Structure 1
Amino acid sequence: MKSGPILNISCYQFVSLPDCAALRDPLYQRAAELGLKGTVLLAEEGINLFLAGPAEAVNAWVATLKQDARFAPLAPKESWSEAVPFKKLLVKVKREIIRMDRPAIRPDWLPRAPALPAATLRRWLDQGHDDEGRPVVMLDTRNGFEVDEGAFDDCIDWRITKFSEFPAAVAAHRAELEGKTVVSYCTGGIRCEKAAIVLNEEGLHAYQLEGGILKYFEETDGAHYHGACFVFDERRGVAADLSPVE
């Protein structure tokens, strides 16, 4: 639901970018020309971005990005606000777009983790099990302070303080997840994708929530989720209708 003149987008793509350093300046310059603010992270494992500005400018930048065939599948999640919730524009090159310290988890070496559409998750949570009758558990891969703002009902929360702690947490709690369908989730999808790869490597039956909480809000009524979704900008959080939370 549109609730302001500023379009906010977030998305990521787990894709091999060996030339990520060369992409930095052109993407920054184009965003600066269009007056956009926010953060774009580039790494050899892909791209993660949060940008805001007038819709025409945001869409023009996305169109420029998609001229590179590797980014053609990008499907940004959209929300609206009265003002730009970022103070400046940053385009950064990093070793990982979200640090996990598991160098073997790379898009050019591994297939995507199984992805669960928002509508399917909504149905599974309604019925209390997946389509094979297995109990479904929601595993929050975010930091503890994000979970405190809002989370799926009865989620598993290991109170991690940084994402690099996740693999050790899986090893410590693996027995609790056996025999269940585990759905890992995060804000926009990148953490839960990497998390689902680790879970499946551990022999667990796991999915990532496609597009994370924000896509779940966009495509459902937000049922089975309580509170707000923490976002890393001046809005702090968004409600199930993607409106900013005071």
Structure 2
Amino acid sequence: MKTLAHRSAATVPQPDHPYKVMALYKFASLPDAESLKAPLAAFCCGRGIKGTLILAPEGINGTVAGTPEAIDALADYLFADGPFGTRLAGAEVKYSFADTAPFLRMKVRLKPEIVTLRAPQVDPNRQVGTYVEPEDWNGLIERNDVVLVDTRNDYEVGLGTFQRALDPHTANFTEFKDYVAKNLDPARDKKVAMFCTGGIRCEKASSYLLSQGFEEVFHLKGGILKYLEVVPETESRFAGECFVFDERVSVGHGLEPGTATLCRACRHPLTEADRQSEHFHEGVSCPHCIGESEKHAAAAERQRQMELARARGTAHLGDDAAHTAARRKSEKQAQAERSRKANGG
């Protein structure tokens, strides 16, 4: 019997792109996570699927890409026919498409948590906040009695966020607990709404707030990615682009690849303004890592090796994917600029 998640894999529209991207997570009891790791890795590698999947006793999380046929087969393996049985039924699954391979290799990792918060009292399988469908999100966050919090890290927020959202300025998710302790008060903040990239961080964040005595906690079902997929751009309250953890770097409305690129020295996402900075040097440095000379030296050597490889007519690992993605972004930016000028912008 095929699960609902599998049927969505089979029926989702298949645009004319060679790569299908699957992002998924599910909090579920997987005490046998260690024994599931090797078979899952073998299944993916045998079908040319690349990306990262994290297994933990509390569930699964990750993003992978491959041919549409390979990703549909993986959906069968995870949700219907494989060793997971029905434990991943109802997983949060999102599909998108790409012209170039978003990942360079396949990794299946075993970790204590599928998203690290280090709060033992938190159990999303037992208690989470109230899910809000993307179509209902605007109405909620426009209310004056709702505190809106972005649970993502600072470099993600810098590319785009919802209007009126509070930025916790965290470098990693474990710092979110400190932000809550210092900035939110259950006696004052009666209604708190939260969002993240795909929904997984909010599962734990909402469970954590409820454990701390907050009464009404809401979170965006499917995260920003689902919102950008289903809410028309004309009605959107999301400004900017959404950072994603692959070579696409960011996506916009309709989950189309965005214009952000990645600093190859510090891995910080870069806007057009960042790339115009005097501190930006392709493959070497950016405004976010200008004082980190060790990273610059390593990045400069990597850039030199890539240029030597291109001069020899050979490919350096990661060179093709990164430069193809950068070229496509450049073409997209040029097209947008031509369109703006043609319309008198």
Q: Same fold (TM over 0.5)?
A: yes
Number of aligned positions between the proteins: 239
**Which residue of structure 2 aligns with residue 50 of structure 1?**
63
Residues 26, 92 of structure 2: 8 Å contact kept = no
Structure 2 SS opposite 1:70: coil
When residues 158 and 21 of structure 1 are mapped into structure 2, their CA distance, relative to the original with a 3 A threshold, is same
**Which residue of structure 2 aligns with residue 218 of structure 1?**
229
When residues 37 and 185 of structure 1 are mapped into structure 2, their CA distance, relative to the original with a 3 A threshold, is same
Amino acid in the other structure paired with 2:45 = A
| Larger RCO (CA under 8 A, 6+ residues apart) | 1
When residues 23 and 186 of structure 1 are mapped into structure 2, their CA distance, relative to the original with a 3 A threshold, is same
Residues 6, 54 of structure 1: 8 Å contact kept = yes
- In 2: Cα distance, 1:177 partner to 1:145 partner: 30
Residues 11, 75 of structure 1: 8 Å contact kept = yes
Residues 151, 194 of structure 2: 8 Å contact kept = yes
**Which residue of structure 2 aligns with residue 153 of structure 1?**
163
Structure 2 gaps, min length 5: 1-12, 260-345
* Bigger Rg, which one: 2
Q: Which TM-score applies when normalising by structure 1?
A: 0.91
**Which residue of structure 2 aligns with residue 242 of structure 1?**
255
Matched, 1:64 2:77: yes
When residues 241 and 10 of structure 1 are mapped into structure 2, their CA distance, relative to the original with a 3 A threshold, is same
Amino acid in the other structure paired with 2:166 = I
Q: Which TM-score applies when normalising by structure 2?
A: 0.66
- In 2: Cα distance, 1:192 partner to 1:173 partner: 17
Residues 5, 82 of structure 1: 8 Å contact kept = yes
Matched, 1:83 2:100: yes
**Which residue of structure 2 aligns with residue 175 of structure 1?**
185
After TM superposition, which residue ranges in structure 1, 4 or more long, deviate above 3 angstroms? none
Residues 199, 221 of structure 2: 8 Å contact kept = yes
C-alpha offsets along residues 33-65 of structure 1, whole Å, 9 cap, x if unaligned? 111000000111111010111111101101111
Residues 23, 63 of structure 2: 8 Å contact kept = yes
Residues 40, 48 of structure 1: 8 Å contact kept = yes
- In 2: Cα distance, 1:80 partner to 1:239 partner: 13
Matched, 1:233 2:243: no
Shift of 1:75: 4.0
Matched, 1:116 2:132: yes
- In 2: Cα distance, 1:45 partner to 1:196 partner: 16
- In 2: Cα distance, 1:237 partner to 1:151 partner: 12
C-alpha offsets along residues 88-144 of structure 1, whole Å, 9 cap, x if unaligned? 000000011111111222345x2333211111113334xx22xxxx62332111110
Residues 38, 88 of structure 1: 8 Å contact kept = yes
Matches within 5 A, 1:90-169: 90-107=107-124, 110-125=126-141, 128-129=142-143, 135-169=145-179
Identity within the alignment, %: 36
Shift of 1:180: 4.3
Q: Flag the structure with higher strand content.
A: 1
Q: Which moved more, 1:230-239 or 1:68-77?
A: 68-77
Structure 1 gaps, min length 5: none
- In 1: Cα distance, 2:16 partner to 2:134 partner: 23
Structure 2 SS opposite 1:175: coil
- In 2: Cα distance, 1:181 partner to 1:212 partner: 18
Shift of 1:202: 2.1
- In 1: Cα distance, 2:166 partner to 2:186 partner: 10
C-alpha offsets along residues 68-102 of structure 1, whole Å, 9 cap, x if unaligned? 20012124111111011101000000011111111
**Which residue of structure 1 aligns with residue 48 of structure 2?**
35
Structure 2 SS opposite 1:139: strand
- In 2: Cα distance, 1:3 partner to 1:166 partner: 40
Shift of 1:199: 1.4
Residues 154, 170 of structure 2: 8 Å contact kept = yes
**Which residue of structure 1 aligns with residue 199 of structure 2?**
189
**Which residue of structure 2 aligns with residue 8 of structure 1?**
21
Structure 2 SS opposite 1:48: strand
